[in-house]
Amino acid sequence: MTSLATDNRQPIVAVRYLDGHRLSRALRAGMLNVIADQERLNRINVFPVPDGDTGTNLALMMRAMIGALTQKSSAHIGKTLMTAADAALDGARGNSGAILAQFLQGLCDSAAEYPIMNTRQFSQAVANGAEYAAQALQDPVEGTLLTVLRDYSDAVANWCEKQADPDFVALLHHGLERARQSLENTPKQLEVLRKAGVVDAGGQGFVDLLQGIHDFIGSGSLRQGWDLPEIDEHEPGPGAGKIENLEYRYCTECMVSGTKIDRRKLREQISELGNSMVIAGTHRKVKIHIHVNHPQEVFTIAGQFGRVSASKADDMHKQQLSAHARGKVAVIADSAADIPDEQFEKLNIHMVPVQVHFGDRTYLDKVSITADEFLALLESHPEHPQTSQPAPGDFRRQFEFLCSHYAEVISISVTGAGSGTYQAALAAARRLPGKSITCIDSRNLSIGEGLVAMYAAECAQAGIDGDRLVSAVMDIIPKTHAYALLGDIEYAVRGGRIPRRVKQAADLLRISPIVTAAHDGKVTLAGFLPGRSNMVRKFCRFACKKMKPGINYRILVGHVGCPERAKRLLESLRKSRPDLHSIHLAEVGSGIACHGGPGTLALGIQEYDRQPGDIGANRLSHANGPEEF
């Protein structure tokens, strides 16, 4: 028996292998360590957007995984890893969460058949996980979580090769030290971190996870009071999702966590809202399933009994349409896409809602909160709202359903340079091998994403599919542009989209900024309008300068709480360009509203010379079609 020394010099017995039970407890110890560091992770979150939510996103993901591991205990280490990976994908939020989910999926795929795991097998699984994580992003950036993952993987592999009889305590200690060094080096690799004087928040979360695992393997026990109770959760069976009628539109679910939840009273209050209700669980954790027309009413009542999490609302009307669909292709977009209601229904576009957070209250964009309700909270709530992309599991659930009714699925996402939504969709698609799912980054702001999604749906309805459809969508993206004339720059400053010095300069010079997405999708300034009066007329002139003579255009006008101004802009554009193919009006959602505030005008401009019905039938060179863009 070999003794080693931990950091506090206490001798311990060497650990030669891990089984499923020990790994499950070690993972939970690491996850709890991440949750404990939530506030600091939020504070140091400056990349890719300084929106202060990395800690919150990781904490939510860790809680989902802890619940799954507590519920499903197995001595088989491969089964334990499968439980952890599935829960991570379903609960992943934020870029760091999606990367970690992919990392765990790599671990799972490498070690799924192992009943127990030795250090060399662990090293191989970590390497596979790091490779999966690297593949999750189109444009990896050094100085982020990916860098720390790679350095940790290399350190573990190199150490194992040099040891005749390696054990886990020493291995994890060596890997943790290298991960710490890699984390401390991130400010030297990423300028935004250096300027802020912080390390990468996602990398710090991973080091927190490693620290908790290391401490558990070394001590063999969880800190008292940190473990979570087992979950007695009942999921609705296959018959529960069948739609007998459309009296209620949304299949709504959420989890309620508390200390002494009165399930009888909860059932009585929730039952009045809809039908097909299922409430299961314990007095500490309850799963709610119900069909309703107003999901937020469910979440509001549930919030009176405990903490609400994992909220979702699937549109059963869209599911009903899909069940009887005649087309070959389904088009789905995240709710950041601003699409006129009549076009959304006419074109049968599906939607995955973005999450909107006001303090500790979470809403599903355009599902459990309307534009008017969002605007009222934006003006009255003491905390600036935060948005987070749907979890990969939300996309996966939608993808699985659509793939059962359509031959192909095209997913359109808001610009990947400002949101992790595209990466979440891509991660979910990769979990469904053999399905024809193409994920496309619109590289556009919300109202531009809406135009791209509309065009994709029109092509699908015109019978275009496969390579030709993907090529048509990719061709329309650089011909689609979105602009937002901000109502109040202060909201963009609070959200981290515009530096305060820009607001100070704009106030001093009395100019109004216009925001757009560049060709690479990065949100940037498109220019300024002089003065603070006659802004509709000036914005119309700005838009007309962006349109070439002799080109057919489709226009989408959006607004945040100022419908009359939007109508005046629409009429001005119609008079200035009587040759427009079409012009539509929409009330924009949280994507622009939280950064522009009330009074914001948005404008989407799309070249429409190559209409879906005009697209030729000739096959393109990429016969099999790309998996992603």
Quick one: pLDDT at residue 220? 60
- Other C-beta atoms lying within 10 Å of the C-beta of residue 280: 15
φ, ψ (nearest 5 deg) of residue 117: -135, 130
User: Which H or E run contains 576?
Assistant: helix 563-576
User: 164 and 219 in contact (C-beta within 8 Å)?
Assistant: no
| Cα–Cα distance for residue pair 484/595, rounded to 1 Å | 10
- Work out the end-to-end distance of the chain between its first and last CA atoms, rounded to an integer number of angstroms: 54
**C-alpha pair distances (Å), 197 with each of 177, 200, 207:** 21, 10, 18
Helix, strand or coil, per DSSP, at residue 336: coil
Q: Measured between alpha carbons, how far is 416 from 178 in angstroms, rounded to an integer?
A: 31
> Is 619 in a helix, a strand, or coil?
coil
Residue ranges of the domains in the chain?
3-219, 243-314, 479-613
3-state DSSP assignment of residue 413: strand
pLDDT of 30 reads 94
Which residue type sits at 566?
A: A
Decide the pairing of beta strands 408-413 and 437-441: parallel
Chain centroid to CA 343: 25
d(CA 432, CA 448): 28
- What radius of gyration do the chain's Cα atoms show? 25
Which residues of the chain have a pLDDT value below 50?
1-12, 222-245, 616-629
Predicted pLDDT of residue 231: 28
Taking the C-alpha atoms of residue 67 and residue 311, their distance in angstroms, rounded to an integer, is 15
Beta bridge partners of 333: 351, 412
Nearest to 251 by CA among 308, 295, 321, 314: 314
CA 447 to each of CA 351, 483, 528, 559: distance values in angstroms, whole numbers, following the listed order:
15, 8, 19, 10
Task: Reduce the DSSP state of residue 580 to 3 states and report it.
Answer: coil
Question: Minimal CA–CA distance to 333: which of 218, 450, 435?
Answer: 450
Q: Do 510 and 531 contact (CB within 8 A), yes or no? A: yes
What's the 3-state SS for 85-136?
Answer: HHHHHHHCCHHHHHHHHHHHHHHHHHHCCCCCEEHHHHHHHHHHHHHHHHHC
Query: How is the chain split among helix, strand and coil, in percent rounded to 5?
Result: 50, 20, 35
Only one residue has tokens 């009296």, namely 247
Q: Which CATH class is domain 243-314?
A: alpha beta
Task: Fill in the amino acid letter for 107.
Answer: L
**Count of Cβ atoms closer than 10 Å to residue 564 Cβ:** 9
Task: Indicate the burial class of 10 (C-beta count within 10 angstroms; 0-12, 13-18, 19 or more).
Answer: exposed
| Burial label, 548 (beta-carbon count in 10 A; 0-12, 13-18, 19+) | exposed
Residue 306 to residue 242: CA distance in whole angstroms: 29
Q: Which two tokens stand for residue 411?
A: 């997913």
Q: Which residues contact 534 (CB under 8 A, 6 or more apart)?
A: none
**In whole angstroms, how far apart are CA 125 and each of 20, 81, 162, 166, 286?**
15, 11, 18, 16, 35
pTM > 0.85: no
Are the CB atoms for 399 and 435 separated by under 8 Å? yes
Instruction: Return the SS3 of 229.
Output: coil
Helices 54-71 and 77-91 pack at an angle, to 10 degrees, of 140
Residue 311: is it exposed, middle or buried by C-beta count within 10 angstroms (0-12/13-18/19+)? buried
Which residues on adjacent β-strands are paired with residue 438?
A: 410
Kindly provide the residue ranges of all beta strands, DSSP E only, lying in 329-397, ordered along the sequence: 329-334, 350-352, 355-358, 361-364, 386-388
The H or E element spanning position 168 is helix 168-189
Kind plus residue range of the DSSP H or E element containing 155 = helix 145-162
Within 10 A of 496 (CB to CB), how many other CB atoms are there? 16
Fold of 3-219: 1.25.40
Structure token digits, residue 493: 């400053």
Return the closest-CA partner of residue 490 out of 564, 598, 589. Answer: 598
Beta carbons of 556 and 584 less than 8 angstroms apart: yes
Q: Are strands 408-413 and 361-364 parallel, antiparallel or unpaired?
A: unpaired
Helices 392-403, 421-430: axis angle to 10 degrees equals 50
Residues counted in the chain = 629
The pair phi, psi for residue 3, each rounded to 5°, is -110, 140
The CATH architecture to which 479-613 belongs is 2-Layer Sandwich (3.30)
DSSP annotation of 228: P
Phi-psi region of 526 (alpha: psi -120 to 50; beta: other; left: phi over 0): alpha
Upper half-sphere CA count for residue 269 (Cβ side, 13 Å): 15
Whole-number Å distance between alpha carbons of 19 and 1: 19
